[in-house]
Copies of this chain bind each other. A is one copy, B any other.
Amino acid sequence: MAPGSPPTMRSVARLAGVSMMTVSRVLTDPEMVAEETRGRVHDAIAKLGYVPHRGASSLRSGRTGFIAAVLPTLVNANFADTAHGITGTLRARGYQLVVGYTLYRLDEEERQVHSLLARRPEAIVVAGTVHTRETTRALLDSRLPIVEIWDLPQHPLDRAVGFSNHEAGRAAARFLLSLGHRRIAAIGPSAEGPARDHRGEARVAGFRAALEEAGLGGDVAVQPCPPPMSFTEGAVAMAELLRRMPDIEAVFAVSDLVAFGAMMECRRRGVDVPGRVSILGFGDFELGRQSVPTLSTVRIDAYAIGERAAQVIVEALGRDAPQGPEGRIVDLGFRIEPRESTRARAPQERHLG
């Protein structure tokens, strides 16, 4: 093995006594090469410890084998699940995922999209449907298959895989209303500052809309916290909510992590869940299935979003890509999963309204 630079295809060819083309064929289409020749090439590869230079082959072939993904963070089991879902499907087909984190910032998303695009991915997956004008332009100019995930845009840039956050929020509100609750609040992302969770905001907006439809607009309190929201933010927001609305009956939290934090705050204060307050989370994190009480939630399948996005990419990269608007949006839906943290109010407790 050369002491300096790593072995090249040329060095393998030389050692095996064949041309570079033959080495190349052994690597990409072995059947095409005589068995005896193939053996010599394999021996040379092993002897030199040759690792093909994917960047060089990409340059000539025009196929990098990269799929780019732009996600807010991976320190969130939901997005990590989605990333695994993408990888699981793509790995078998020889693609590699390059991920960029935005930390919930659109300006950072723009930067990530730019540096990801410079790697010439064959498709790009991006969380959310809200982007800067420049991000949108860059994405569109790339002429790559684009899959927006985790929400359902009216007009996708290209394709989309997800569910309606707005509808999920509405469903959450209707569920709590159906339990007889009237003093209801939400814990959601603040709509200010550089870090924004637009999908969480959509859920809260849908939640608010449903309560207003029910004539309860005035009673909706939304406790905002800056993304990324987790346990601590949920606990802090719940404390504030209990102060502002001592008679609060139900809370919808923008994620199960936030809901869990809120639930723990209740326990610390001796507020019984679901006896006094019902808490509904979102996302169906494993945590909520194991906690005591178990957490009622809006179930979505984060892994499936990734898996489906990957399938959409494979399809788009194939010849039979759908051209019309149909089939370009995949709605994976959501489902209310009632568990122990929510409970119907007893009839005598119910309000007149």
Chain A: residues with CB nearer than 8 A to chain B?
1, 6, 49, 51-56, 58-59, 64, 73-77, 80-81, 83-84, 87, 96-99, 101, 114-115, 117-120, 137-138, 141-143, 230-232, 235, 260-261, 264, 267-268, 286-287, 289-292
**A84 and B77: CB pair below 8 A?**
no
In the bound complex, residues from chain B placing their C-beta under 8 Å from that of A142 are: 6, 51
Known contacts A138-B49, A143-B6; is A286 also within 8 Å of B231 by CB? yes
- Chain B residue with the shortest CB-CB distance to A48: B141
Bound CA–CA A59/B75 (angstroms): 33
In the bound complex, residues from chain B placing their C-beta under 8 Å from that of A51 are: 114, 117-118, 138, 142
> 19 additional contacts, CB 8 Å, given A231-B290, A232-B289?
A51-B117, A51-B142, A55-B58, A55-B64, A55-B120, A56-B59, A73-B80, A75-B77, A75-B80, A76-B80, A80-B80, A84-B101, A96-B115, A97-B99, A231-B287, A232-B286, A261-B290, A264-B290, A268-B292
| SS of A interface (majority) | helix
In the bound complex, residues from chain B placing their C-beta under 8 Å from that of A76 are: 80
**B292 and A264: CB pair below 8 A?**
yes
Distance in angstroms from A62 CB to nearest chain B CB is 9
Q: List 15 A-B contacts (CB under 8 A).
A: A6-B142, A6-B143, A51-B117, A53-B118, A53-B120, A54-B115, A73-B84, A74-B80, A75-B77, A80-B80, A96-B115, A97-B99, A231-B287, A231-B289, A264-B291
Bound CA–CA A286/B228 (angstroms): 13
Q: How many protomers of this protein does the assembly include? A: 2
**A232 and B81: CB pair below 8 A?**
no
In the bound complex, residues from chain B placing their C-beta under 8 Å from that of A55 are: 55, 58-59, 64, 119-120
Bound CA–CA A346/B29 (angstroms): 72
**A99 and B101: CB pair below 8 A?**
no
Contact of A59 among B59, B99, B115 (CB under 8 A): B59
In the bound complex, residues from chain B placing their C-beta under 8 Å from that of A96 are: 98, 115, 119
**A1 and B260: CB pair below 8 A?**
no
Bound CA–CA A120/B50 (angstroms): 12
**A287 and B287: CB pair below 8 A?**
yes
In the bound complex, residues from chain B placing their C-beta under 8 Å from that of A83 are: 74
Name the 3 nearest CB pairs between A and B, nearest first: A231-B290, A54-B118, A74-B80
**A260 and B74: CB pair below 8 A?**
no
**A52 and B235: CB pair below 8 A?**
no
Contact of A286 among B84, B230, B268 (CB under 8 A): B230
**B141 and A49: CB pair below 8 A?**
yes
Distance in angstroms from A297 CB to nearest chain B CB is 15
Distance in angstroms from A95 CB to nearest chain B CB is 10
